[in-house]
Structure 1
Amino acid sequence: MTMVGYVVDLFAGGGGMSFGFKEAGFKVVFACDIDKDVAKTYTANLPEVIYLVEDIHRINPYEVMDMAKLQKGDVSVMIAGPPCQGFSMMGLRNPNDPRNKLLHEILKFAEAMKPHWIVIENVPGLLTMEGGEPVKVIYKSLAKLGYKCAHRVLSALDYGVPQKRKRVFFIANNTGDPITFPLPEYGEPLSPTLEKFISGENCVGVKCKPYFVVRDAIGDLPPLKAGEEKDYYACAPFSDYQKLMRDGAPQKLH
C-alpha cells in the first residue's frame, strides 16, 4: 500500500482527533472505542472510516490491519486518548484502576503496526501519578520498540478554543525526525516574557491573537428562559469561531 498519510485512532470517542487529522490532510482508516453512543457521533461525521465498537483488549491489531488493508509500516500516525479517570486530579487517582493499564494496549498496536508517529493524549495528572511511573513506562516501552519520545502540557485556550483545557501530549516517532510542539497562537494582550513565548510556556501579546472567550463561541445563540426552546440564532456570526462552527450547518438550530 502506498503511503498517503494514514491514521489509526484508538479510544477514538466522538472523533475530535480524527477530524482534526482529516482536516490536516490525513486519511483516517480505522478507529475504535468501547462506547456505542459516541460511535454514532463519530460515524455521522466520518462515515468513511472503519469504526469498531469493542473493548480494545479484544481487538487484534493484525486483524485490524487485514480489515483496513494495511501492511506493517503503512500507518503514518497512530493517535490515542485512553480514558483519563484513573489519572485525573478530579478522581481517586487509584494506581490499580484497570483503565490505567490501557496504555499497554497502545503499545500492542504500536508493535504490530509500526506507525511512523504516535500521539498519546491524556490529563496532566498522569505526570504525577505514582511519582511519574506511568511516564517512565511510556518512554521505556516506546524506546524498546524503537521510538524517540517527548511530551508537553498544552492548553486548548492557547490554540483558539474558548476553554481552559490542559492536556499532556506524548509524541513519538521512529523516523529520527525532531519532535517539536506548536507555539501558542492566542494569549493575553500583555503576557510575561519573550523567553516564555519561545519555550512554549506562555504567549507574548504582540505575537498572539487574543483568547477566544465564551461570548465568541456562543454569543450568537438566543437567550432562553426556563423550559423555553428556540430554533434560530439571535444574530449573524460576529466572530471567526462562530463562523467556523456554523460552516456547513443549517440556519435552524436543533
Structure 2
Amino acid sequence: MLHQNEIAVDNFAGGGGASTGLEMALGRSVDIAINHDPAAIDMHKVNHPNTTHYCESVWDVDPVAACAGRPVGLAWFSPDCKHFSRAKGATPVNKEIRGLAWVAVRWAMSVPVRVFMLENVSEFLSWGPVVYINDQPRPCPARKGETFDGFIKALTTGLKPTHPTWLEAVRALNIEFNLVEKYKLFKGLGYCIEHKILKMSDYGVPTSRARLFIVARNDGAPISWPTPTHGNPESGLIKVKTAADIIDWSIPVKSIFNRPRPIAEKTLIRIAKGIEKEIINNPDPFIVPREHVAPFITEHANGSNQRNMALNEPLRTLCAQVKGGHFALVTSHIIKFRGDNTGHKTNEPLHTISAGGNHLGEVQTFLIKYFGTSNAQSALEPLGTITTKDRYGVVMIRGSKYQIVDIGMRMLYPHELYAAMGFPASYKIAFNSEGKKNTKQNQVARCGNAVCPPAAAALVTANLTLSKKQVAA
C-alpha cells in the first residue's frame, strides 16, 4: 500500500474511473485529481468528495506546490488518447494533445514519485513526430515509435541531446533554457519500466476494450502484472461478463415501425443486417430470459389495425389474430453506430464505448411459432434489404421455426454504459454537485474513454500490496 505520508495523484482524472479503481485498491480516496473540464471535475467531486480538485490544465498545476512536501506513492496518468487511436480516422492530428504524456516526466522530475502508471490506447507505442501530408498533420510513417523511445529513455537511462526527440521533450517540459533540469533529463530518472496490453474482460469488465498500461517504479521492487480473473471456466476462471449482464431489461424497447419520426434508412439497414447475422443466420441466437422479456409487443401481421400488447398479459389474444402458433421468444443483439459495424451478440462483452456520444443500442426481435406457409406480412419488409420470402421471414432456432412479428430498438442508457465500463452501481452520474440533473450527453461523455475501475484496481493491487515477506523486511 502507500507508505506513511505518501499521496496518490490522478492526472487527467475525468469522471473518476481511475480514481475509483485506485480507491478500490488502496482503501481510500486519491489525494489530488486534475482535469481541465469543469463537468468532469464536478462529477469527480460528487463521487470523491475527500479529494483536492484542480480544474485546470495539467501543465498549469505545479507538482511541488500541489504536493506541499508530501511524496507521491502513486501517480496515475491517462492522457487524451483520441489523437493516437485508430478511431480518429482521417481527422487531423493535434501535436500538443499527442504530447500530453510528457507531463508524467514533469511530475517525476519535480517531486518524489515512487510508482506511476499510464493508460492509453495500444497505438501510443507508435508515438512519433507529426509531419504534414497533403497539408494535413499526420504521424510520420517512417518514424513510428521514435518519440515513445525518447519518452522511455528520459524516464530510465537518460535522453541524449542527439536523440531526435530531445528538442520536443525540453520544449514540452518548458526547460529549454534550464541547464539543471535538462541535466536531469540527460542523466535519466532511473525508473524501471514495463508495459503491457490488458483486455478489460479479463478482469470482470463486460467490455471487449483493450488498453496499454505502463508501470514505472524506482523503489527497487519488481513490477507485477495482475493475473486474469475471468475467462474460460474450464480453466478455473470466472465466466466473462457480457452485454447481457449490464442491460437493464426493465426498460422497454420501442417498435421500429410506425414511429412519429421515421428511423433513418441507414439505421434500418444496420438493423436488417444485424438481424440477418445474429438471428436469421445464427443457429443459436441470444434469447432473452423469460423473466426479463420486454413488457410489450407490437403486432405487424394480420389485420388492418395495429395492436400493442404487454408481454406479461395472456398471449391467447395474440394467437387469435396472428396465424400459426403461440408467442415464444424474444431475441436480442447489440447494434453499433460506427462505420460498417453492424453490432454483435448480446452474450459477448460490449464493444468499446467512446466519448463522442451514445453509439450503442439494443435490438429485440419478437417471434412466434411458425407452422407452414403464412401470408402474414414479414416485419422485415420495410427494411428494404431482406426479401419477404418465407425463407427470410422465418427463423429456425434450435430445431423450431419462428415468424418475426416485430422489431424493437433503443439506445443504451448511461447507467448501462457505466456498468459496462465496470463502475459500481452506486456511482453517482445523474446529478451534478448543485443537485441539477446531468444531461445524457454529459453522462456519456464522462464514461466514454474512461479508465475501467476493476482493471486499475487489479493493476494497483498487484504492485502496491506488500507481501508478508516484504512487510517483515
Q: CA-to-partner distance for each residue in 1:53-111, whole Å, 9 max, x for gaps?
A: 10122221112123xxx43xx21100010001121111258676211111111211121
Which whole-Å CA distance do the structure 1 matches of 2:126 and 2:224 have between them? 23
Give the corresponding residue for 1:132.
145
Give the corresponding residue for 1:142.
155
Larger RCO: Structure 1 or Structure 2 (Cα < 8 Å, ≥ 6 residues apart)?
Answer: 2
Which whole-Å CA distance do the structure 2 matches of 1:128 and 1:6 have between them? 32
Aligned-pair CA distance for 1:245: 3.9
Q: State whether residues 85 and 121 of structure 2, in contact with CA within 8 Å, keep that contact through their aligned partners in structure 1.
A: yes
Give the corresponding residue for 1:6.
7
Instruction: Give the root-mean-square deviation of aligned CA atoms.
Output: 2.7
Compared CA separation, residues 247 and 31, structure 1 to 2 (3 A): closer
Compared CA separation, residues 105 and 16, structure 1 to 2 (3 A): same
Aligned-pair CA distance for 1:247: 5.0
Which whole-Å CA distance do the structure 1 matches of 2:191 and 2:427 have between them? 40
Give the corresponding residue for 1:86.
83
Aligned-pair CA distance for 1:20: 1.1
Which whole-Å CA distance do the structure 2 matches of 1:141 and 1:248 have between them? 38
Report the secondary structure of 1:158's partner residue.
helix
Give the corresponding residue for 2:37.
35
Aligned-pair CA distance for 1:112: 1.4
- Letter in structure 2 aligned against 1:135: F
Q: CA-to-partner distance for each residue in 1:174-233, whole Å, 9 max, x for gaps?
A: 0111111112111145xxxxxxxxxxxxxxx42311110011112444224379xxxxxx
Give the corresponding residue for 2:264.
none
Give the corresponding residue for 2:228.
184
Compared CA separation, residues 42 and 177, structure 1 to 2 (3 A): same
Compared CA separation, residues 145 and 166, structure 1 to 2 (3 A): same
Give the corresponding residue for 2:245.
216
- Letter in structure 2 aligned against 1:119: M
Number of aligned positions between the proteins: 217
Which whole-Å CA distance do the structure 1 matches of 2:250 and 2:82 have between them? 32
- Letter in structure 2 aligned against 1:36: P
- Letter in structure 2 aligned against 1:86: H
Q: State whether residues 4 and 27 of structure 1, in contact with CA within 8 Å, keep that contact through their aligned partners in structure 2.
A: no
- Letter in structure 2 aligned against 1:120: L
- Letter in structure 2 aligned against 1:17: A
Aligned-pair CA distance for 1:27: 4.1
Compared CA separation, residues 4 and 150, structure 1 to 2 (3 A): same
Report the secondary structure of 1:222's partner residue.
coil
Alignment of 1:144-163 (within 5 A): 144-163=188-207
Which whole-Å CA distance do the structure 1 matches of 2:51 and 2:150 have between them? 31
Q: State whether residues 126 and 134 of structure 1, in contact with CA within 8 Å, keep that contact through their aligned partners in structure 2.
A: no
Which whole-Å CA distance do the structure 1 matches of 2:64 and 2:34 have between them? 14
Give the corresponding residue for 2:342.
none
Give the corresponding residue for 2:24.
23
Match of 1:52 among 51, 54, 62: 54
Which whole-Å CA distance do the structure 1 matches of 2:424 and 2:73 have between them? 28
Which whole-Å CA distance do the structure 2 matches of 1:140 and 1:146 have between them? 9
Which whole-Å CA distance do the structure 2 matches of 1:248 and 1:38 have between them? 14
Compared CA separation, residues 248 and 58, structure 1 to 2 (3 A): closer
Compared CA separation, residues 58 and 245, structure 1 to 2 (3 A): closer
Give the corresponding residue for 1:117.
115
Q: CA-to-partner distance for each residue in 1:28-75, whole Å, 9 max, x for gaps?
A: 110100111111110000011001010122221112123xxx43xx21
Give the corresponding residue for 2:169.
none
TM-score, normalising length: structure 1:
0.77
- Letter in structure 2 aligned against 1:22: E
Which whole-Å CA distance do the structure 1 matches of 2:28 and 2:151 have between them? 25
Identity level (%):
28
Compared CA separation, residues 94 and 188, structure 1 to 2 (3 A): farther
Which whole-Å CA distance do the structure 1 matches of 2:151 and 2:120 have between them? 12
Query: Which sections of structure 2, spanning at least 5 residues, go unmatched?
Result: 129-143, 157-187, 260-291, 294-418, 429-437, 439-473
Aligned-pair CA distance for 1:12: 0.7
Q: State whether residues 6 and 26 of structure 1, in contact with CA within 8 Å, keep that contact through their aligned partners in structure 2.
A: no
Which whole-Å CA distance do the structure 2 matches of 1:172 and 1:90 have between them? 28
1:62 aligns with 2:64: yes
- Letter in structure 1 aligned against 2:152: Y
Report the secondary structure of 2:99's partner residue.
helix
Which whole-Å CA distance do the structure 2 matches of 1:93 and 1:176 have between them? 42
